[in-house]
Structure 1
Amino acid sequence: MNARTARLITMSLAGACGVMALAGVLAWMGAGRGYGWLPETEAPPVTGVGHIDTDAVVMPPDSEFAEVRQRPIFNEDRKPTPIAEPVKDEIVQVVPLNITLTGVVLTPDVKLAMVRDNAKNEAVSLRIGMPLPGEQQGWTLAEIRSRSVVFKNPQDETSEVELEVAPGLTVPPSAKPTAPAAANAAPVPPPAPPPGGVPTTVPGQPPGQPPADRAAELQHRIEERRREMREQAEKLRQQQEQVK
Structure 2
Amino acid sequence: MKNPGRPTFWLSACVVSLAVLCLALFEGLGAGIEWYPDQVHSLPTSSVTPTTVQAPPALAAYAEIWERSLFNRDRKPDPVSRNEHDTQSLAGFSLNGIAVSPALRKALFKTREGKNLSVAEGETLPNGWRIERITAQTVSLSFKSTQQELSLPVLKLPASAVH
Q: Shared topology, TM-score over 0.5? A: no
> Considering only CA atoms, is the larger Rg found in Structure 1 or Structure 2?
1
TM range (shorter): 0.3 to 0.5
Normalised to the residue count of structure 2, the TM-score between the two structures is: 0.43
Structure with a larger share of its residues in helix? 1
Structure with a larger share of its residues in strand? 2
Normalised to the residue count of structure 1, the TM-score between the two structures is: 0.30
